[in-house]
Structure 1
């Protein structure tokens, strides 16, 4: 993620009035830091990371950035972590940047754990135009196409895709809102 996209996430979370944020895919915590900075006092971010090593690196980065008190990192498969979450206080904002094969599942879970008005952002959905190739065998593209199929038919969401060109090449993100 580039600094420009990080700042965009911060602004989107602030515009959504997010007090509770869910992130699927922590890696080193770069986007986590941007999102945590968007939270007001008392806000909370829950981030899911498969790899314990990445979670440890993220914890160090969050501490250095001064936002660790706002963030809870859960380690393990995101599908399992999401399934275990109760539908208590809903999330206001969800950022998804994990294995693309499971994006449709992650969005379904975001809807379940959100509320009407929850903003959902899914990163890396253009894949340098590869998403247009219906015959692609790339699992990330197949997963992204499944996400678009889901978004086009799910009555619980309003969504669009936005293409980006920048420091990391040609890609894009989905911007969705729970109805």
Structure 2
């Protein structure tokens, strides 16, 4: 995550969080454990977590796929959007992150709604595809930016008409404009966005975000 050089962003986020996202011991504990484990502050902000929660509710999601569990903060927001019997499948490469996330899910009382699949996301996605699982209603992509183009092809095979897909960190503090190709993460996101242009299966847009997480943004895709 990029360093925030504008204190106004932090102050506005704090103002909005105070009014729109009430104190939540479970979510605060998740962030505290993330810090105690020495993990970088890469989780979505509270306002962004609430945004994902509202989006998932608005499409009536019962099956959610997340790429990139990290400490489980966004996963908890998504799982709370589910109705009875709903499920989040979240993919995480690092065992240390998966172990911490499972502890957070257990303490949040959401373990029955969340399944962590460990290992490279590309491999886990291929297993889901080959197993012929039911399509997902909502997909949150927040994993290795280098592989966003590969993930797009795979998650489309796990979608249906009406699936909503959200991809995080697509602005990269404005560095998305860098076409030198030297940064593999920028190269991956640029290729991903190029794939979205005139995509035959998708209606797409993107939103720039400025707040306590710095300057970044989401890409949003609706499967036709």
Superposition TM-score, scaled by structure 2 size = 0.78
**Using the alignment, how far apart are the partners of 2:54 and 2:181 within structure 1?**
34
**Using the alignment, how far apart are the partners of 1:87 and 1:109 within structure 2?**
13
How many pairs align?
179
1:154 aligns with 2:199: yes
Higher strand share: 1
| Secondary structure, aligned partner of 2:161 | coil
Q: How does 1:1-179 map to 2 (within 5 A)?
A: 1-85=44-128, 86-179=131-224
**Using the alignment, how far apart are the partners of 2:218 and 2:173 within structure 1?**
12
- Cα deviation digits, residues 54-102 of structure 1 (max 9, x gap): 0000001111111111000000000000011133311000001000011
- Show structure 1 runs of 4+ deviating over 4 A: none
**Using the alignment, how far apart are the partners of 1:95 and 1:166 within structure 2?**
20
Q: Which has the larger radius of gyration?
A: 2
Instruction: Give the deviation of 1:136 after TM superposition.
Output: 4.0
| Secondary structure, aligned partner of 1:102 | helix
**Using the alignment, how far apart are the partners of 2:164 and 2:219 within structure 1?**
10
- Structure 1: gaps of 5 or more residues: none
Instruction: Give the deviation of 1:143 after TM superposition.
Output: 0.4
- Structure 2: gaps of 5 or more residues: 1-43
| Secondary structure, aligned partner of 2:106 | helix
**Using the alignment, how far apart are the partners of 1:159 and 1:167 within structure 2?**
25
| Secondary structure, aligned partner of 1:68 | coil
Superposition TM-score, scaled by structure 1 size = 0.98
